[in-house]
Amino acid sequence: MARAGRRPGPTETREEILAAARRLFAEQGYDGATIRGIAAEAGVNAALLHHYFGTKQQLFVAAMNLPVNPAEELPRLLATPDEQTGERVVRLFLSVWGDARARAPFLALLRSIADNEQAATMIREFLTSAVLSRIAEDRSVPPLRAAAAAAQLVGLVMLRYVLEIPPLATATDDEIVALVAPAIQYYLSP
Amino acid sequence: MARAGRRPGPTETREEILAAARRLFAEQGYDGATIRGIAAEAGVNAALLHHYFGTKQQLFVAAMNLPVNPAEELPRLLATPDEQTGERVVRLFLSVWGDARARAPFLALLRSIADNEQAATMIREFLTSAVLSRIAEDRSVPPLRAAAAAAQLVGLVMLRYVLEIPPLATATDDEIVALVAPAIQYYLSP
């Protein structure tokens, strides 16, 4: 909350909203938390929050410090399905994770998943409601196929960037795309 | 170390060896730690350690409490490659992870990977030296293909058992085998 005797500036307000969002997403999950509730927690009105951050999904991405919004990027990428879809998806993942600075927030998320059930719930709900169900619907594939593609990409990131397993850690993006894109293409084909 | 004035019994000795192994694998990595060094740390001779636990790889599996030894099970499974290889590998993974009690040590490992660099090093070296390089050699596939198959399986386990993403968490083993086995088969085919 703002200190007494002084109106908070826009930066302070943004930070308060983000902190309130992190608290409520953790406590209530992604599905349970609402823009209205987060606004109340931050002591601002919902219209102001919407003005600063847009939708709940966009607020979540900002609160978690994600360098890209998977709920927007992936459906955009999958909008025009063809035989290069697998390749485009793998390239997007590698370009986002290839940047060590951008990687930090994802690693923080990963740690929180392993450490506490609340964080796991929050991320499960975000992935399910905001990402996988949209992909499955847009591509007319069963949700299980979208989830299996996600599993391949999550595992790739774990082994290449977290565990740094050779030769995944030392392979070029092109080598990985050539190898993994066909599997993603297989999962995302109806 | 044993307390003064009393000879340690076999159970105590085993526990001391396992504790010493956990310390040295964490401090020196899987590749760096030696049977001789662990025996010295536990205050026993190397022959006794070997008698109790076998090879370094078997000692590691015992020290980490793993319900199966992937360095033995996977090469055995891949010894007779055919068009059912992908299916056999996926079934082995699901049967091991499907048992909630057996899952606990893996989850502990996963947490330690996310939390500290030493644990990540130890596990990276075990996977690389004891598991992936053997599979790549036995199957005559490039190590990158073995690692990509491992990425698929690690991601599957993360999303099905840790994050519990629907519909991966609720699908039957048969549904998952039908979907994922072709990807594993693709990676493990020369």
B98-133 pLDDT tens trace: 888 878 887 777 777 777 788 889 989 999 988 888
Q: At what angle do helices B143-157 and B85-97 cross, to 10 degrees?
A: 40
Q: What pLDDT sits at residue A74? A: 83
Is A144 close to B179, i.e. CB distance below 8 A?
yes
Q: Is A2 a residue whose pLDDT tops 70?
A: no
Q: What b/e readout covers A90-101, taking b as 16+ CB neighbours within 10 angstroms?
A: bbbbbebbeeee
**B146: chain A residues, CB-CB within 8 Å:** none
Cβ-based neighbours of A116, under 8 Å, separated by 6 or more = none
pTM: 0.86
Question: Does the beta-carbon distance from B180 to A127 stay under 8 Å?
Answer: no
CATH of A13-63, one of 2.50.20.20, 3.40.640.10, 2.60.120.460, 1.10.10.60: 1.10.10.60
Residue of A nearest to B153 (CA): A155
Q: Is the pLDDT of residue A161 over 80?
A: yes
Which of A113, A175, A183 comes nearest B183 by C-beta? A183
The whole-angstrom separation of Cα B28 and Cα B126 is: 12
Higher pLDDT, residue A166 or A138: A166
The dihedral region occupied by A165, where left means phi > 0, alpha psi between -120 and 50, and beta the remainder, is beta
To test the contact with chain B by mutation, choose from A30, A121, A152 the residue with the greatest count of B C-beta atoms within 10 A, namely A152
In chain B, ranges of CATH 1.10.10.60 domains: 13-63
Q: Is the pLDDT of residue A139 over 80?
A: no
A173 in contact with B at a CB cutoff of 8 Å?
A: no
Task: Assess A12–B contact: CB distance below 8 Å, yes or no.
Answer: no
Q: Chain A: residue nearest B184 by CA?
A: A183
Determine the pLDDT at residue A107: 77
In B137-166, the residues whose Cβ lies within 8 Å of chain A are 142-145, 147-148, 150-156, 158-160, 162-166
Cβ atoms < 10 Å from Cβ of A144 = 21
Q: Which residues of B touch A167 (CB under 8 A)?
A: 142-144, 147
B171 touching A (Cβ < 8 Å): yes
Give me the mean pLDDT over the A37-48 stretch.
96
For A59-117, what is each residue's pLDDT tens digit? 999 999 888 898 888 888 887 778 899 999 999 999 988 888 878 887 777 777 777 78
Helix (H) or strand (E) segment spanning residue A120: helix A117-125
Listed as own residue / partner, the contacts of B142-147 with beta carbons closer than 8 Å and 24 or more positions apart are: B142/A167, B143/A166, B143/A167, B144/A167, B144/A168, B144/A171, B144/A175, B144/A176, B144/A179, B145/A179, B145/B187, B145/B188, B146/B187, B146/B188, B147/A159, B147/A165, B147/A166, B147/A167, B147/A168
The shortest C-alpha distance from A25 to chain B (Å) reads 16
Q: What is the pLDDT of residue A156?
A: 95
> Percent of chain A scored above 70 by pLDDT?
95
Residue A118 parent element (H or E) = helix A117-125
A83 close to B87: Cβ distance less than 8 angstroms: no
Radius of gyration from C-alpha coordinates of chain A: 18
Q: Which residues of A touch B176 (CB under 8 A)?
A: 144, 148
Mean pLDDT of chain A: 88
Separation between Cα atoms, residue B19 and residue B6, nearest integer Å: 19
Task: Please provide residue B2's backbone torsions phi and psi, each rounded to the nearest 5 degrees.
Answer: -70, 145
SS3 per residue for chain B: CCCCCCCCCHHHHHHHHHHHHHHHHHHHHHHHCCHHHHHHHHCCCHHHHHHHHCCHHHHHHHHCCCCCCHHHHHHHHCCCCCCCHHHHHHHHHHHHHCCHHHHHHHHHHHHHHHHCHHHHHHHHHHHHHHHHHHHHHHHCCCHHHHHHHHHHHHHHHHHHHHCCCCCCCCCCHHHHHHHHHHHHHHHCCC
Q: Is A92 helix (H, G, I), strand (E, B) or coil?
A: helix
Q: What is the pLDDT of residue A17?
A: 96
Sign of the CA dihedral A24, A26, A28, A33?
A: positive
Q: How far is A166 from chain B (nearest CA, A)?
A: 7
**Length of chain B counted residue by residue:** 190
Topology annotation, domain B70-187: Tetracycline Repressor; domain 2 (1.10.357)
Q: What parts of chain B have a pLDDT lower than 50?
A: 1-3
pLDDT-derived band at A24, boundaries 50, 70, 90: very high
